Amino acid sequence: KQEVTQIPAALSVPEGENLVLNCSFTDSAIYNLQWFRQDPGKGLTSLLLIQSSQREQTSGRLNASLDKSSGRSTLYIAASQPGDSATYLCAVRRGVKTSGSRLTFGEGTQLTVNP
């Protein structure tokens, strides 16, 4: 059974700092991995999706990497801002190429960026 772990559970940093969030998964037979952002009381916003054949994806100040063989992904946030404060969740999709494949989620990292 796939298990996804995110470390740390919470992180507090000063504005402007570069930071890394970690995600690990137990079964390397994944199809892709998705990083989400969740603001309090809101739904999830997709940030980046990395296919199993890719090693990284970038969007603005965000960079996500994937090392499938070791079961790890990182989300790098450059020059953090107070508006980045949110919970960040990673989710892995099983290795089947069909619509409706299931995601397994980690518990998230709660990030606070202090002005």
Partner 1 sequence: DGGITQSPKYLFRKEGQNVTLSCEQNLNHDAMYWYRQDPGQGLRLIYYSQIVNDFQKGDIAEGYSVSREKKESFPLTVTSAQKNPTAFYLCATSPRDSRGEQYFGPGTRLTVT
What is the token pair recorded at 37? 């952002």
**Distance (Å, whole) CA 38 – CA 88:** 6
Find out whether the peptide bond into 8 is cis, omega within 30 degrees of 0: yes
Q: Write down the least CB distance from residue 52 to partner 1, Å.
A: 11
Q: Write down the least CB distance from residue 44 to partner 1, Å.
A: 4
What is the token pair recorded at 66? 């994937």
- Check: CB of residue 34 under 8 Å from CB of residue 25: no
Nearer to partner 1, 58 or 101 (CB): 101
Q: Write down the least CB distance from residue 99 to partner 1, Å.
A: 4
Residues near partner 1 (CB under 8 A): 4, 31-32, 34, 36, 41-46, 49, 51, 89, 91, 93, 97-103, 105-108
Nearer to partner 1, 57 or 65 (CB): 57
